[in-house]
Amino acid sequence: MRVTLADGSVKITGATAYAKFNTHITTGTYTENALALRILPLGIQVDVILGGRWLRSHSPVTLGYEGNGSVSFLRKSRGGKIGDRVTITGCSPGKAPGDKSPKGTACAGLVDEVFLTPAQLKKFLVYAETQKMRGNDDLGIQPAWLMMAEKSQGDKTSAFAATAVDTEDARPAADTEDAEVDPEWTLKFQDFWGSEYEKEMTTALPNIDGLRHDPQDEANINLDPELSKKGPPCQRIYKKSAEELRQLRERVETLMSKGYIRPSSSPYAAPCLMVPKPGNPKELRLVIDYRLLNRQTVKDKYPLPDIQMMFDEMQGAKFFSSFDAVDGFWQVPMAPGDVEKTAFTTQMGSYEWLVMTQGLQNSPSQYQRRMQRALGHLPFVRIFIDDVVVFSNTAAEHYEHVKQLLLTCREKGVFLKRSKCQLLKKSLRFLGHCISADGCRPQHDKVAAVRDWPELETVTHVRQFLGLAGYYRRFIHCFSEIAQPLTRLTKSVVPWEWGPMQQWAFEELKKALTSAPVLALPNIKGAADGTAPFVVQTDASGIALGGVLMQDNGDGLGLRVIAYESRQFSAAEQNYHTGERDYIRGV
């Protein structure tokens, strides 16, 4: 379990399960029964931390900062009748209530460990109230675990607070966290962003004639001579409802007014359909079925970046910003000779694209090439198609990096969407992961999608589940061995049979991903010079082998996991002698 204290420090406990028990609180004439508590090895010398649910159930709660600190509230009967005020005081100097240890030991750990400034406490309580307004009453992350202790450090309050992630039933915290930096720096950055740059570069794309581009960056469609012998692919239009037709007509008119499409007399004809947008099923987006054209297209071999290598290169960074291009593909004009190949049919006629569009086989590779030519020379920038991330070690350095990126985008004609930009973050969502100075972990909404996955009833369902879970396999120890009962079901020669082993694998993968650790980013320089060598541990069973890569960066946390790796043995390898399988795991 990962516990984040209110001052930002982190305690990681080895507990995956912990005891729960009921107790009561007695102060003066007041007794509260059935107080549910959990035992966690935090190494903090206090008896009880009162949770956020407890605070909300006794709201309004008044915090007292004088003396040893206190929490007070109005007594309420079961019928809701308001009674007299009850006050629970903090631990006395050097000794917690009920503590029989020698004087000076009970509160010492807490006093030296965590204290909040008034500003920190205010921010913490505002966050807790915000979560309540959003309906997050069942947070496994307790937003306001609070206990009063001795006030002994200047103007700092006597409040202790912590948040904890319960990997079993928690709803996780936000994936992004704003960085706390000099306000003057923030204003300076906002002034720059809010200047003519935003008006010119981030509102909307210009007309096609206004797109600045290098002829080398034009999108093209090269056809395979053998596969295209039958002539241009042509399909009939798909039927649509009245609402789909209305939104299609509006979409076509908008694209025509921009100059991105034009009426076509091309022999090519790809059908289109209207698909609901995620999160807003009433709003439809235009999708064109280019499958027949893609079968005849010669694949562009320009590589997309390796996501894991991108994260590895961010090791040591503490500040992050991400940017998203405005309708990125539309910023790349089509080569004049290939415009007719993009033709698509609607109930209003046939149209063809003057800019690159989604659905074409080579659009991702060609757009990656264009972005790499424009921004790839910046060493602090990493690009994955239309997603751009900037990473830096200091706030001042980050400002210069972001400014240089924006100026380069303006020079190269790369248009950004301000509403999708995440600026100046200590932790950042990027490509399904959350990246921070601590390392990398799966993005919370992706984990939730796996955790809430419905029962698997067909081979297609199994493949879909393994596809998403497999994307995060480096976070799961012995992924291949756990997934083996499900993987077998995807083979055409294996009949469908859902039994206890398949159910166990399904539940175990969900559990493993929801409790996935924060993986450290590798210190390549330290590994190269020997100051932070890599440590590899491997193991093998009868059906799979696995390994874990670890490294000690000298930060006091000891060996931290960088990645898990595993694979299943082939049918022949499963027949190997144990010693031979052990040899395989060593290489």
Note the pLDDT of residue 585. Answer: 62
Residues 379-401 as b/e (b if ≥16 CB within 10 A, e otherwise) read ebbbbbbbbbbbbbeebeebbeb
In which band, very low, low, confident or very high, does the pLDDT at 129 lie, cut at 50, 70 and 90?
Answer: very low
- Per-residue pLDDT of 16-58, as tens digits, reads 444 455 555 665 556 665 566 666 655 555 556 665 556 666 6
Q: What is the average pLDDT score of the chain?
A: 71
Which of the residue ranges 73-82, 160-169, 205-214, 318-327 has the most confident prediction, judged by mean pLDDT? 318-327
In which band, very low, low, confident or very high, does the pLDDT at 165 lie, cut at 50, 70 and 90?
Answer: very low
Note the pLDDT of residue 195. Answer: 54
Give the residue-averaged pLDDT of 453-470.
85
3-class secondary structure, 269: strand
Does the structure show a pLDDT above 80 at 169? Answer: no
Classify burial at 85, counting beta carbons within 10 Å of its beta carbon; exposed 0-12, middle 13-18, buried 19 or more. exposed
Least confident of 121-135, 308-322, 557-571: 121-135
% of the chain at pLDDT higher than 70: 61
Give the span between the Cα atoms of 352 and 359, in whole angstroms: 14
Give the residue-averaged pLDDT of 129-135.
45
For residue 85, the cross-strand partners are 74
Domains of the chain listed by start with CATH number: 2-173 (no CATH), 186-436 (3.10.10.10), 441-586 (3.30.70.270)
Does the structure show a pLDDT above 80 at 272? Answer: yes
- Per-residue pLDDT of 57-100, as tens digits, reads 666 666 665 555 566 766 665 444 555 666 666 544 344 334 44
Give the residue-averaged pLDDT of 157-164.
38
In which band, very low, low, confident or very high, does the pLDDT at 339 lie, cut at 50, 70 and 90?
Answer: very high
Note the pLDDT of residue 502. Answer: 86
Residue 551 contacts residue 527 (beta carbons within 8 Å): yes
Long-range contacts of 73-76, Cβ-Cβ distance < 8 Å, separation of 24 or more: 75/30
